[in-house]
Structure 1
């Protein structure tokens, strides 16, 4: 049994991304193996590229770390396909990150919550906004040792900033 009801069904990349279905990505990691994963993390220069933690949790408040600036740089490089991935894979990622559209402006993003000892201590929302003429990249990371930081709160902050700046 999974900790969240929405995890208790079959998923694809799109539903797994929108519901942060950890087991889906853990299955992919196990299938690829640490050596292949390390190759990809090195290729995209993802944060500290440290996969020394457990294969099923290195990215959950463990060895792998990335800064907000590195997140933005990665999103920009991915969107520009600086890694020479197949275009259909870039489009699949963008489709999985799509959240909403207002008129001709689209919001893309992914939340993340870091939990330690049952407390949500780390909240992320990273993404970008596209309109007819520009793309705006962002990364919000909030931290609180008392357990009051999560991806939903980071999303609220990001959306307010994007609204205040008249971006979205």
Structure 2
């Protein structure tokens, strides 16, 4: 709940980044400076301890501390993403429930009579080209919880937005989630 971080006035390439942020707004707009600030406040050893505690991918943070998760040393597979989301949804980490709920609230995208959609996009950029697109999440319905992770790679146009379109099309085809028109 106490996730507010004031914008430092630096001009960033995305308009949504040029404002004060909370966990919700930073997740929604993938505001890198927000998460870099949180990491700096925690310190490298605490961040690494959390990465190990949750078993995040290869747990390799040897890259630059300000960008270890951005097309750098920290890597995760789609299967590992789904396993991590399952543990988050069930709070298998032993974190305080209010903190788990804050993260869940921050990734809640929409809800309808069908259920609730949670998700997060990611786009990996190298040399100005979008080469790695992610959309991960889950859908809670009255009968089930469906977890998903879509990762696309290409020389360009591999964005989180494109991964989202692919995922939503599949979920619709499977009658798991029908987007509201």
Tell me how far apart the structure 1 counterparts of residues 160 and 133 of structure 2 sit (CA, whole Å): 4
Does residue 140 of the first structure (1) align with residue 150 of the second (2)? Answer: yes
Per the alignment, residue 27 of structure 1 pairs with: 37
User: What is the DSSP-based 3-state SS (H/G/I as helix, E as strand, rest coil) of the residue aligned with 1:136?
Assistant: strand
Q: Which residue of 2 aligns with 1:54?
A: 64
Query: How much does 1:133 deviate?
Result: 1.7
Is 1:103 the equivalent of 2:123? no
Residue 157, structure 1, aligned to residue 166, structure 2: yes
CA root-mean-square deviation = 0.7
**Is residue 9 of structure 1 aligned with residue 5 of structure 2?**
no
What TM-score comes out, normalization by structure 2 length?
Answer: 0.91
Partner SS state of residue 43, structure 2? helix
Tell which deviates more after alignment, 97-106 or 13-22.
Answer: 97-106
SS at match of 1:124: strand
Instruction: Measure how far apart 1:102 and its partner are.
Output: 2.0
Tell me the TM-score normalised to structure 1 length.
0.98
Match runs of 1:72-151 below 5 Å: 72-145=82-155, 147-151=156-160
SS across alignment from 2:66: coil
Gaps of 5+ in 1: none
After the TM superposition, list the runs of 4 or more consecutive aligned residues in structure 1 that deviate by more than 2 angstroms.
none
Worse-matched range after superposition: 96-105 or 64-73: 96-105
The number of equivalent residue pairs is 167
C-alpha displacement of 1:157 = 0.5
Rounded to whole Å, the distance in 1 between the matches of 2:114 and 2:100 is: 21
Equivalent-residue separation in structure 1 for 2:122 and 2:137 (angstroms)? 12
Q: CA deviation at 1:25?
A: 0.2
